Structure 1
Amino acid sequence: MPNRKYRLSIEGMTCTSCERHVEEALSTIGAENVEANFRRGEAIFELPEHIDIDKAKGAVNKAHYKAGEAEAIHQQESSALEAEDNYDYDFIVIGSGAAAFSAAIKAVEYGAKVAMIERGTIGGTCVNIGCVPSKTMLRAGEINYLAGHHPFDGLTTSAGPVHLQTLIEQKDVLVKKMRQQKYVDLIDDYGFELIHGEAKFVDEKTIEINGTLLTAQRFLIATGASPAIPDIEGLEHVDYLTSTSLLQLKELPKSLVVIGSGYIGMELGQLFHHLGVTVTLMQRSPRILKNYDPEISQAVLEALTKQGINVITGVAFERIKQHGNMKRVYFSMNGEIKTIDAEQLLIATGRKPNISSIHLEAAKVEIGDRGEIKVDDYLRTSNPRIYAAGDVTMGPQFVYVAAYQGGIAADNAIGGLNRKVNLEVVPSVTFTTPSVASVGLTEEQAKQKGIEVKTSTLPLDAVPRAIVNRETTGLFKLVVEAKTGKVLGVHVVAENAGEVIYAATLAVKFGLTVEDLRETLAPYLTMTEGLKLTALTFDKDVSKLSCCAG
């Protein structure tokens, strides 16, 4: 019988010496190929058939560490592929974004014959129409706004006319360069085949593309998502914008109404406000960022309104009409019908999976209530030959999550592993000014899980970096387990919150405590110092501390 392979979570390892102690303890009871990792808090090893996993746990506990949950890793000798050669490919990847490339590269490293199918532009949402173009434009808008709205006496700056077409052209050059370097060039570097065309499943192991039938042992669907359009009367007769078409405009409108105030709506709405457009954000829910704690929502609302953005919440959209060159939105609030006019209308009410043309029913792949491809913890669909990853599964809509899932899908589909997706600790960033970043549980989420928590909220006017920047609208919030002080969640509204949140992610992922944050040196006059100061507020008044006394 072959050895059984396990991943065992272990608490208490803090260094490489601890790793050696754990490896020695497991080897002593007969474990083989032991690899401990204190940063991940785990050990991976193999056990002969006659040794029970409980014996391995006992050895770890005896070495003065705490053994946790053990996960069996089911691995075939070399791969998950069948010993047959009557398939055209080992692995066909449908899509060419982050999940697709991550999976294709890893599959090639396993020695698989891989084809990638793309019906449009290589690279997916992030590099072409999402992260890259929007963030470079956001930076341009920020610079334009600061030129006319900075807080420093003695500086005379001003912002001239904005030439949107020139900005868009510069953005397009950047997108083209990054698409070539980070996607197109990698196809030849790794040696998988790119096929242009639209894939449609014919049966469980066959697709049709450009009139040709292709078979594969395994498939990955990574076709992403696109803007979802709400059912509002009259909208189909109005020339509205989406997040894609907005970033292709050549002239600035005088006014813009944004329906939907999630991260896409807020980022793009603020971008155009910073370029000099009159902007109104509208949404159905009673507060923006409804999935965050109320303090976060309020801080962001305060920042947006302070800058001059009109935010209207708690509305019911009745209908939309074209009035000359203006769009008129009819909506009700508190039983009263109101209207608002704008030269341009942006629809930013979420995204929907791109699956309509793949003929998933022919492959016996089940679809969920939101139109997403249903997958298990191993990213397998209802057809065990077919995996799905990225936005098409409607998980967290982040490029780094998609890439992570793509790698796991290839490990399982081609490498023969049995890796579970773990999305318990996923940082998120909304690139507004100030930015919003979050990781772990909110206070409400922790309470829903039955966890007794303590929280600390530190306004930004107590953070030295924010004080010297003269930008003090925002806050830090820590959510910790009441009994242990373990950090469960960190939420930040501040300049460079996205840079801060990685440190917070490590704290949540590796179970650091408030005391750990207090006792770790934080560079003075950095925004990250806000993490330590917020930890100190659990039992101190930070306003009574000297500058660096934290």
Structure 2
Amino acid sequence: MKTENIKLDIAGMTCEHCATGIEKMLTKNEGVTEVKVSYQNGSCECSFDPSKTSKEEIINTINSTKNYKVAHTDETKCCNTNANHFDLIIIGGGSAAFSAAIKAESLGLSTLMVNGGLDFGGTCVNVGCVPSKTLIRAAETAYHATHSNFSGIKPKGVAIDFAQVIKDKKQLVATLQKKKYMDVVSDFHNLKMLTGWAEFLDTKTIVVDGKVKYTALKFIIATGATTNIPIIEGLNEVGFLTNVSLFDLEEKPESITIMGAGYIGLEIAMAYNRLGVKVRIIEFTDRVLRTQTPDISEALETQMKNEGIEILPNFRAIKLEKKENETIIHCKCPDGSFTQIIEKGKIVVASGTKPNTQKIGLQNIDLKLDKTGHILVNEKMETNLPNIYAVGDVTNTPAFVYTAAFEGKIAVENAFTGANNEADYSSLPWVVFTDPQVAGAGLDEAQAEAQNISFEVSKLELNNIPRAIAANDTRGFIKLIRNTETDKLIGARIVAPEGGELIQQLSMAIKYNITVKELAESFYPYLTLGEGIKLAAITFGKDVAKLSCCAS
């Protein structure tokens, strides 16, 4: 192996930690074999394989940091002035990509963001979190205008202007897409944004739309995920919808059949049913929200059936065909027989998601994927290639907008500052926005058992919580899981109206090793749903039904 050496003068170092950080940062560059940085002398000696890296890349890596710069010497005259070369190229335009771009700008990195598919802003603002949650809230307003928990309150009904609801949703999406994404980066001096499809030619080069090539020191893949369309005969011919197209449909469908009972399918089902659409769900497994324990599924199924939603578990669609204005869904039933379901309205596919790893040239760089096609990353968002990072839904990490944004930030920090920031999701809070909501953090009992943890469960129905009793709404429960050896809280699951508002407290308790005893002995305002956490903690040792109000 041929080796070359370079000696550089570096400005901006203030301590030995700076020198150590630069050494760690440079050794991450493919081809760098040895680095010695002296804080006292303000110098750097670096050996590298010229077939894998160059003096230019080493210098640009240092110059891309916020605090350190290479002094202009004869050694630095090789610096690239190519307008198509960047410190960082981000492939994707969602929350993870914007978070990475914001961090890159703060570090003074020249950055290119290339986005194809959805508009800048990605899934969350355009077709995911924002439109779905505003439609859910609109639907709740309609529902409460026709349903009361109190015999003395008799609602008189509601007039639903479906087209206006969708138009308002579109306006909200446009406003937030502009204010929270495009306006945020509008004054960035070092960011260039392109609309187009990026494809890797090698580990240092991409081509956009098959025309223009761009190179970079580091890359971040943030291409997200999209609906996984199952392979079913006739499906592509019947004009199915996904959340992307459904949320823009201004004409209210007479009915919809949703294929899939995961969180996306369930949120759509409840929202559209309450907006006056007849809803049916076909689920090929035995229950809704199959990733959670059966008691959670049962609570949701009970509520949804009470609202008139038809749920068909263990039904598998094997063929779809169009006959005039109807869609015929041929299904295999739980007992092995076959039946035909007639849908006069729309077919909505909500059968999970798949990572967007196609068409970006991964076959040219030998990037490792897991068995589901997600990019494999470690806790630092590093892939198997030293100059390529991946973040967000395209990776094998939890698929939430807030985790994606966090990953975008730490990927840039780890790539360019020598930081070793890691994503720890052991206490990650999450929410499914059905009604009642489902929220969780940490382990459930099945996961604790799989990890051979000695655990105990306390499950408190909402009919034991004064706030729920006073509101005449006792749907759901609070479930806590504790380690019996340490008494520390290791997990929580909540099914309750607005239950998502409680989960952050329990996430923090798990993260900071709070014991169940401490939860039980803390103060909680009376007649809040949060008091249910205290009561659930007490239930590990006492029957709360035998306690007076506020007693412990």
Normalising by structure 2, we get a TM-score of 0.83
Deviations, residues 310-346 of structure 1 (Å, cap 9, x unaligned): 2221222222222322222222221221232221111
Q: 1-side partners of 2:167 and 2:232: how far apart? A: 33
Partner in structure 2 of residue 204 of structure 1: 203
Question: Residues 462 and 357 of structure 1: is their aligned pair in 2 closer, same or farther, counting only changes over 3 Å?
Answer: same
Q: 2-side partners of 1:202 and 1:76: how far apart? A: 25
**1:130-145 → structure 2 map (5 Å cutoff):** 130-145=128-143
1:111 aligns with 2:105: no
Partner in structure 2 of residue 487 of structure 1: 489
CA contact (8 A) 1:256 1:280 kept: yes
CA contact (8 A) 1:76 1:416 kept: no
CA contact (8 A) 2:258 2:280 kept: yes
Letter in 1 for 2:79: D
Cα distance, 1:273 vs. partner? 0.7
CA contact (8 A) 2:227 2:351 kept: yes
Partner in structure 2 of residue 385 of structure 1: 387
1:346 aligns with 2:348: yes
CA contact (8 A) 1:282 1:313 kept: yes
Q: 2-side partners of 1:428 and 1:399: how far apart? A: 11
CA contact (8 A) 1:474 1:492 kept: yes
Cα distance, 1:412 vs. partner? 0.9
Q: 1-side partners of 2:258 and 2:308: how far apart? A: 15
Q: 2-side partners of 1:173 and 1:76: how far apart? A: 44
Deviations, residues 93-133 of structure 1 (Å, cap 9, x unaligned): 11111111111111221221112112241101001110001
CA contact (8 A) 1:94 1:117 kept: yes
Letter in 1 for 2:280: T
Question: Residues 501 and 189 of structure 1: is their aligned pair in 2 closer, same or farther, counting only changes over 3 Å?
Answer: farther
Partner in structure 1 of residue 169 of structure 2: 171
Q: 1-side partners of 2:429 and 2:277: how far apart? A: 31
1:298 aligns with 2:298: yes
Q: 1-side partners of 2:123 and 2:181: how far apart? A: 12
CA contact (8 A) 2:265 2:350 kept: yes
Partner in structure 1 of residue 4 of structure 2: none
Secondary structure, counterpart of 2:220 in structure 1: strand
1:94 aligns with 2:91: yes
Among 349, 364, 367, the alignment partner of 2:366 is: 364
Question: Residues 124 and 77 of structure 1: is their aligned pair in 2 closer, same or farther, counting only changes over 3 Å?
Answer: closer
Letter in 2 for 1:544: K
Partner in structure 1 of residue 48 of structure 2: none
**1:456-475 → structure 2 map (5 Å cutoff):** 456-475=458-477
RMSD of Structure 2 on Structure 1 (CA): 2.4
Cα distance, 1:463 vs. partner? 1.3
Secondary structure, counterpart of 2:157 in structure 1: coil
After superposing the two structures, state which structure 1 stretch, 387-396 or 83-92, moved more.
83-92
Structure 1 gaps of 5+ residues are: 7-47, 49-74
Cα distance, 1:181 vs. partner? 0.8
Partner in structure 1 of residue 51 of structure 2: none
**1:145-160 → structure 2 map (5 Å cutoff):** 145-160=143-158
Q: 1-side partners of 2:306 and 2:162: how far apart? A: 25
Q: 1-side partners of 2:410 and 2:288: how far apart? A: 34
Partner in structure 2 of residue 329 of structure 1: 329
Partner in structure 2 of residue 126 of structure 1: 124
Secondary structure, counterpart of 2:525 in structure 1: coil
Cα distance, 1:521 vs. partner? 0.7
Question: Residues 459 and 76 of structure 1: is their aligned pair in 2 closer, same or farther, counting only changes over 3 Å?
Answer: farther
Q: 1-side partners of 2:64 and 2:87: how far apart? A: 14
1:227 aligns with 2:221: no
Deviations, residues 427-468 of structure 1 (Å, cap 9, x unaligned): 111000111001110101001101011101111111112112
1:282 aligns with 2:282: yes
Secondary structure, counterpart of 2:184 in structure 1: helix
Partner in structure 2 of residue 397 of structure 1: 399
Partner in structure 2 of residue 416 of structure 1: 418
Q: 2-side partners of 1:82 and 1:218: how far apart? A: 18
Secondary structure, counterpart of 1:148 in structure 2: coil
After superposing the two structures, state which structure 1 stretch, 84-93 or 389-398, moved more.
84-93
Q: 2-side partners of 1:250 and 1:76: how far apart? A: 52
CA contact (8 A) 1:205 1:363 kept: no
1:355 aligns with 2:357: yes
After superposing the two structures, state which structure 1 stretch, 82-91 or 109-118, moved more.
82-91
Deviations, residues 357-383 of structure 1 (Å, cap 9, x unaligned): 211222332333222222233212222
1:180 aligns with 2:174: no
Deviations, residues 461-514 of structure 1 (Å, cap 9, x unaligned): 111121122111211111110122110111000011111111111011111111
Secondary structure, counterpart of 2:223 in structure 1: coil
Partner in structure 2 of residue 307 of structure 1: 307
**1:237-276 → structure 2 map (5 Å cutoff):** 237-276=237-276
Among 437, 440, 448, the alignment partner of 2:439 is: 437
Question: Residues 5 and 277 of structure 1: is their aligned pair in 2 closer, same or farther, counting only changes over 3 Å?
Answer: farther
Cα distance, 1:82 vs. partner? 11
1:85 aligns with 2:76: no
Partner in structure 2 of residue 195 of structure 1: 194
Cα distance, 1:259 vs. partner? 0.9
CA contact (8 A) 2:145 2:157 kept: yes
Q: 1-side partners of 2:395 and 2:91: how far apart? A: 14
Cα distance, 1:212 vs. partner? 1.8
Q: 2-side partners of 1:491 and 1:77: how far apart? A: 47
Deviations, residues 283-327 of structure 1 (Å, cap 9, x unaligned): 111122222222222222222222221222122222222232222
Cα distance, 1:248 vs. partner? 1.1
**1:450-529 → structure 2 map (5 Å cutoff):** 450-529=452-531
Aligned residues: 484
Letter in 1 for 2:115: E
Cα distance, 1:421 vs. partner? 2.3
Aligned sequence identity (%) = 39
